[in-house]
Amino acid sequence: MDEYLSKDNKQLQAALETDIKKGLTDAQVKEKTEKYGKNALPQGKVTPWYMVFLHSLFEPIQIILMIAAIISVLAPLLGKGEWTVTIDDFIDFIVIFLIVIIDAILETVQTIKARKSMDALKDLSKPKAVVIRNNMQQEIDATELVPGDIVVLEAGKYVPAELRIVESSELMIDESILTGESVPVEKTHKPIKSTTILADMQNIAFMSTFTTAGRAIGVVIKTGENTEIGKIATSINKNDEEATPLEKKLSQFTLIVALVSLALGIIIFISLYFSGNSTAWASYLMVAITLAIGVIPECLAAIISITLSFSARRLAHQNVIVKKLKAVETLGSVNVICTDKTGTLTQNKMTVTKLVMDNRVINAKDYTNEKHDEHLDYFLKALVLCNDSVTENDERIGDPTELALVDFAEVTGLDEQKARDEFIRIDEKPFDSERKMMTTVNDIKGVKTVFTKGAIDQLLQCCSKIMIDNVTRPITQEDKDELLKIAGELSENALRVLAFAYKETGNEGNKSNFESDLVFLGAVAMIDPVRDSAVQAIKQAKAAGVKVVMITGDHAVTALAIARDLDLAHDEKEVMNSKMLDTMSDEDFLEIIEQIRVFARVNPEHKVRIVDALQKRHNITSMTGDGVNDAPSLAKADIGVAMGITGTDVAKQASDVILTDDNFETIIKGVNEGRNVYAKIKRAITFILGVNFSNVLAIFILSLINSVSPLEATNILWMNLIVESCIALAIGMGKNDDSLMKVKPIKGKNSLFRGIWFSMGKIIVFLTICSIGAFYFGMSFVDKDHIMNIFNDETYRKILESHGYNDESINALAESGWYQIFKNHDVPMEIKLEIGDYGRTAIFMLITCAPSFFVNFIKLSQWKTSKKINMVTNKPLIVSSLIAAGLNMIALFVPGINNNILNLLNTKEYFDHWYMIPVILCLTITPTIAMLLTDGIVFVSYHYFPDPRRRNKQLLDSMIFEDKKLLAQKRAIEKQKRDKENQQ
């Protein structure tokens, strides 16, 4: 690009084969379009929906589930010793595969929805370009531009391609998306020396920057991916997408569960083989494989997808678009948020906050209520008439500083449009960087009046008088010293000071006299004020243990002043500028980075270095940004957050999350949502693994004792359907628990197993004990008469006789009781299963009904945050628990289902032993009661009887809190004192 900097217009025309006056011809446009292509930023590869679906289908946990599904078909066949296949053998297989497919569909749908939301954001503003072609001025889509096109720029228009300016008039361009500098820069059409530094290319207009003032004509020198923005977009597209923390944790979790299930299967088979009849090894293998599969949470992938989908939908209503489902959880893991200042923490709107009038400082809000007088009348006219900005309806064109002046005048009572129509501009002396002033001459009711604005030190040199309390008198040196002192104090607080003066007679024929013998009116002090919501959001972030780091292109003084207003930083030691950063080695920077709260005057490469250093300190880091210069750091961060309103397409493309309202508060909402997502996923894991392990443990123990499994495959399948498919799926559908924002994030590795062992252990212990107790309670109803009734049944009599039993040995077998029958390896399995109906029914009722109760009371860590018990009701979970209980009643009491399908007691036998059901129901709620009592004891001991180490820590935390409280009060008093001194 530097080859075009020093060329004059003739050389440019020759190099680009164009005519600056007439533009390109249609034939040239067609030829160059074929050569250079469309003027569009390179897009990342869009993965087709079917590839998204296949990728979701073949994630590690899904593969294990599919293997488990295949084993669920093979295991019964091995157990039976024959290969006759019926539809019943495929029930497990069908259910598991349906779960896998549903999960993949949910993931695909959410990904496509997020992609459509992004496309909708891009379609909001498709840029146009005014060009000269065929000696005619016309408007075209910016994508149709080619090198050599002649483009007309005006205030309020985006630069549609890389331009070498050939004509200009007071051209100012906002290059913040590229450089991060919020103040517009002045451009020239004159040739300059070649340079590779973008900020020094004063005769180049960069693609996607914004024209704030003036007009110009430029010739296109670069388009599309060859522009500076295009180069960054290309580099972003080449980056490989990293797995989110949740994906990494799920992969680790899947591996651990797979190894545990394999180990359990081996242990169970060996134990049964050596404790039972070795000839029944196929039956034992089936039991071992069935129980090993029972450990794997088949529905976990679907639960995660449903939980993430619900959260993504909630976030969309809160102005957060999530491009990738699993990025929701990453938001909750964040413990450092690196954020831009302008537009995110501040309002992105310069605002007049103080006035310098009558040699004193007045709050702008107070001044708007003062009585209108001659002084105010001239002052407001100076604000509006010596001003080139335009505000009409929703259109706001011009320098942010000038727009702020118009806004203040409007609020104070002067209508901009009426004033400019009534007081016509006769002449002007435009602003330039050497004079640092601008002057206009307006007709005020027949009197030619000069209005001048500029830097206060320059303007005071042109003033011979000053207006104080509506009286004009000669200005003294003491007046000037006092005004400069006030302006200096305001500048130290990051306020931009602009002064105003006037005189009623002017020689419009001689512009050199415009800016002399002026009457000083006053000055305004303005700043881009902080968002009130951002102040609250930072408080919430601090309470949540999330560190907020402000990264800005502003000077350190301005950045620190904003940081103080946000209660983000208060000392110069917490601020680091780019010069300090450049002189530091990586090792020194790593040592100090945890203490820095504000980075000022940074370049794009600095942002990447900051994020990299924070990650090396084991932080989960979020980066917010809107400009092209933010894209590399957005891609580098664990989660990149782009602005939806002011954000460039490149920034949105590099990010994981898009804020449609550009508000920092929205990020904190995302953190809250992410933490709740993670808590719900861990709660689901706790519940499913707790139930699965307790069932496996109970069945294993009873199988070892009795040499026969207390449950059949259909019973286990029903339990999985009820517990995982019906109850667990609803865990992620409930409302959020805001108390999670009081829990400090865990720095570094945070496994899915972390913090769940106690809750999972309670489930395993209490549910296992109650399950075993329920089985033996049920078997207590099996007496000699019941056994003889079974033996006397024609079907079972034939089975016994086929195994060598006669009447005498059958009576002796009945006399031995059910326990000895179970231990007897010669008794056919069909007989044992029939005798075990009472025990099977009892344990079946407990393991299917008990989870419906205690699932609503599973809590993890948030109970530590307060002595007040915080109950968050999950209505979908309550409904699903009731549905599960209802389905269990159908399974237990509907004839045909209970005895024929599930091999449970028939309905008649319930009435013969009427107290069996109430007792088992009491056992069913026993695990819930035991868990609540345990939680109560732990809760009370934690909050009211802490151990010595934690008691000392509480005292230290209390002292630190009081110190911080006193420091905050002291800062508030100092701020009030400064404001009062400024007013005086």
**Catalytic positions, written as ranges:** 340
Place of tokens 């413990």: 335
CA gap 712, 777 in Å, rounded: 18
Give the residue among 347, 345, 337 at the shortest CA–CA distance from 657: 337
Q: How far apart are CA 48 and CA 819, in angstroms?
A: 61
Q: Which residues of 172-182 are buried (b: 16+ CB within 10 A; e: fewer)?
A: bbbbbbbbbbb
CA atoms within 13 A on the CB side of 41: 25
Reading the block at residue 188, the tokens are: 């020239």
Biggest alpha carbon–alpha carbon distance for the chain: 136
| DSSP-derived 3-state class of residue 663 | coil
Residue type, 941: S
Residues recorded for the chain:
984
Nearest Cα residue to 728 out of 886, 887, 877, 931: 877
Residue 24 carries which DSSP code? Answer: B
Q: How far apart, in Å, are the Cα atoms of 688 and each of 103, 253, 265, 324? A: 17, 13, 18, 25
The answer to whether the beta carbons of residues 228 and 178 sit under 8 Å apart is yes
Rounded distance between C-alpha atoms, residue 647 and residue 177, angstroms: 8
DSSP letter string, 267-297: HHHHHHHHHS-GGGHHHHHHHHHHHHHHHS-
Q: How far apart (Å, rounded) are the C-alpha atoms in residues 224 and 127?
A: 13
Residue type, 314: R
Q: How far is CA 913 from the centre of its chain?
A: 57
Q: Confirm if 33 and 146 have CB atoms less than 8 A apart.
A: yes
DSSP annotation of 868: S
Q: Residue 656 corresponds to which tokens in the numbers above?
A: 């994981």
Nearest alpha carbon to residue 407 among 416, 419, 399, 398: 416
- Dump the DSSP string for 843-856: HHHHHHHHHHHHGG
For every residue of 680-711, DSSP letters joined together read: HHHHHHHHHHHHHHHHHHHHHHHHHHHSS-SS
- Rounded CA-CA distance 378/383 in Å is 9
Point out which residues pair with 448 in neighbouring strands.
443
DSSP class per residue in 92-151: HHHHHHHHHHHHHHHHHHHHHHHHHHHHHHHHT---EEEEEETTEEEEEEGGG--TT-EE
Alpha helices in 363-497 (DSSP H): 364-367, 374-385, 400-412, 416-422, 456-460, 477-492
On whether the CB atoms of residues 322 and 315 are closer than 8 A, the answer is yes
Q: Kindly report the three-state secondary structure assignment for every residue of 910-958.
A: HHHCCCHHHHHHHHHHHHHHHHHHHHHHHHHHHHHCCCHHHHHHHHHHH
**C-beta of residue 278 within 8 angstroms of C-beta of residue 674:** no
Distances from the Cα of 546 to the Cα of 337, 354, 538, 748, angstroms: 7, 33, 9, 14
